[in-house]
């Protein structure tokens, strides 16, 4: 496994891969890898013949009061996991290399990025789209794999690729869960023992919403209130949002039908913000 620490090293490695005619797959991550990321690597290997994984805690997607400094990092362990899983090339640049001091160019989506996570994290998707665009260009990947857990993120990336005509295919990797249903996330490690115990209630609430829709309920307000009621049994949890939106454009729906709904939620348990979603 090769490791590129600078843009220059990455460019050279990518040049070699392309001259050998490989189909390049990309798995962008912020490191502190867990099984969810490694399953994206497995998926990437199915759809490409060389896998590049990037590890970069991207500062432009964190708001001023968010967890950029606290975000967990363990590069040595990440590299070992990548090697074991069959990654071909890891790119782990530093901030100065990715964003020069005068950096002022961003990719901004003007509509679907405004709702859901965009309300409490107004600059987040600008940072995500910008870094993904840069990583697509630098890796010259044919295909890139993103987890469905960050549903709004992957929808916005697909939209960026479509609308800016970027020559990359986007593949979605399924949500990987712990045995009690909690979606895997690097942020789960912030949870205390008692917080961890109640964390699956977000997934449970989403399942309640799904069952209601499949049972014929069409009124969003009723579905949302049942889901909120389940979470509110735990006074230590604060709901950021619980929304039923259109699966393409993320517009809020007042009446829902199976086959076209994304139910997405975000909660705070203590200081930790968790997200999850389900397609119905
Ligand atoms: O999902 C993530 O970990 C990040 O948002 C991503 C896609 C690696 C961009 O920094």
- What is the whole-number distance in angstroms between the Cα of residue 27 and the centre of ligand 1? 9
Same domain, 7 and 66: yes
Read off the pTM.
0.97
| Per-residue pLDDT tens over the stretch 168-186 | 999 999 999 999 999 999 9
CB of 168 shorter than 6 A to ligand 1: no
pLDDT in the model for residue 23: 98
For 73-101, b/e burial (b = at least 16 CB within 10 A) is eeeeebbebbeebebbbbbbbeeeebbee
State the maximum Cα–Cα separation within the chain, in Å, rounded to a whole number: 58
Strands 143-147 and 169-173: parallel
Same domain, 40 and 160: yes
Same domain, 168 and 213: no
- What is the whole-number distance in angstroms between the Cα of residue 30 and the centre of ligand 1? 6
Same domain, 224 and 156: no
- pLDDT of residue 122 exceeding 90, the answer is yes
Site to probe by mutation for ligand 1, drawn from 26, 27, 30, 176 as the one with most ligand atoms within 8 Å of Cβ, is 30
Same domain, 207 and 120: no
Boundary residue ending a domain (149, 173, 197): 173
Instruction: Say if CB 276 and CB 200 are below 8 A apart.
Output: no
Boundary residue ending a domain (173, 206, 232): 173
Boundary residue ending a domain (115, 141, 173): 173
pLDDT in the model for residue 241: 98
Strands 143-147 and 89-91: unpaired
CB of 36 shorter than 6 A to ligand 1: no
Looking at the domain assignment, is residue 179 inside a domain? no
CB of 150 shorter than 6 A to ligand 1: yes
pLDDT in the model for residue 232: 97
Q: How confident is the model at residue 146 (pLDDT cuts 50, 70, 90)?
A: very high
CA distances from 37 to 139, 176, 233 (A): 18, 9, 32
Looking at the domain assignment, is residue 61 inside a domain? yes
- What is the whole-number distance in angstroms between the Cα of residue 237 and the centre of ligand 1? 25
Residue 177, both tokens? 């869960």
Interatomic CA distance for residues 221 and 217, integer angstroms:
10
Average pLDDT value over all residues in the chain: 97
Site to probe by mutation for ligand 1, drawn from 58, 107, 148, 168 as the one with most ligand atoms within 8 Å of Cβ, is 58
Quote the domain boundaries for residue 48.
2-173
Q: Quote the percentage of the chain above a pLDDT of 90.
A: 99
| Atom of ligand 1 lying closest to residue 56 CA | 10
Indicate which CATH number applies to the domain containing 95. Answer: 3.40.50.620
| Per-residue pLDDT tens over the stretch 57-73 | 999 999 999 999 999 99
The residue nearest atom 6 of ligand 1, judged by CA position, is 29
pLDDT in the model for residue 145: 99
Interatomic CA distance for residues 266 and 103, integer angstroms:
31
Is 234 among the residues known to form the active site?
Answer: no
Same domain, 167 and 238: no
CB of 148 shorter than 6 A to ligand 1: no
Residues 6+ apart with CB under 8 A from 80: none
Same domain, 150 and 201: no
Looking at the domain assignment, is residue 178 inside a domain? no
Residue 241, both tokens? 């949002």
Looking at the domain assignment, is residue 180 inside a domain? no
Same domain, 99 and 70: yes
pLDDT in the model for residue 161: 98
pLDDT in the model for residue 257: 84
Sequence-ordered alpha helix ranges (H) in the chain: 7-19, 35-47, 75-85, 95-98, 117-120, 124-139, 151-163, 193-198, 201-214, 220-231
Same domain, 152 and 23: yes
Same domain, 160 and 215: no
Same domain, 124 and 241: no
Count of domains forming the chain:
2
Beta bridge partner(s), residue 268: 238, 273
| Per-residue pLDDT tens over the stretch 185-230 | 999 999 999 999 999 999 999 999 999 999 999 999 999 999 999 9
- pLDDT of residue 86 exceeding 90, the answer is yes
Same domain, 90 and 49: yes
């Amino acid at each position: 496994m090769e490791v590129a620490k600078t843009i220059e090293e990455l460019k050279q490695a990518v040049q070699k891969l392309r001259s050998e005619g490989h189909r390049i797959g990309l798995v962008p991550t912020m490191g502190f890898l867990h099984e969810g990321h490694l399953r994206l690597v497995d998926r990437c290997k199915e759809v490409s013949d060389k896998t590049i994984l990037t590890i970069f805690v991207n500062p432009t997607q964190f708001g001023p009061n968010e967890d950029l400094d606290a975000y967990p990092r363990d590069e040595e362990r990440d590299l070992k996991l990548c090697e074991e899983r069959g990654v071909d090339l890891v790119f782990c640049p530093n901030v100065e290399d990715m964003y020069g001091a005068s950096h002022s160019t961003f990719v901004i989506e003007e509509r679907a990025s405004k709702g859901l996570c965009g309300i409490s994290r107004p600059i987040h998707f600008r940072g995500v789209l910008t870094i993904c665009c840069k990583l697509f260009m630098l890796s010259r990947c044919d295909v890139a794999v993103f987890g469905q857990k960050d549903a709004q993120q992957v929808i916005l990336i697909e939209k960026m690729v479509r609308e800016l005509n970027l020559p990359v295919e986007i593949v979605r990797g399924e949500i990987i869960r712990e045995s009690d249903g909690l979606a895997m996330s690097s942020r789960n490690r912030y949870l205390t023992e008692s917080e961890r115990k109640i964390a699956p209630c977000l997934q449970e609430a989403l399942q309640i919403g799904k069952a209601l829709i499949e049972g014929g309920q069409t009124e969003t307000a009723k579905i949302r209130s049942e889901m909120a009621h389940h979470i509110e049994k735990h006074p230590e949890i604060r709901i950021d949002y619980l929304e039923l939106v259109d699966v393409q454009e993320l517009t809020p729906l007042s009446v829902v039908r199976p086959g076209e709904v994304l139910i997405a939620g975000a909660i705070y348990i203590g200081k930790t913000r968790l997200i999850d979603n389900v397609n119905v």
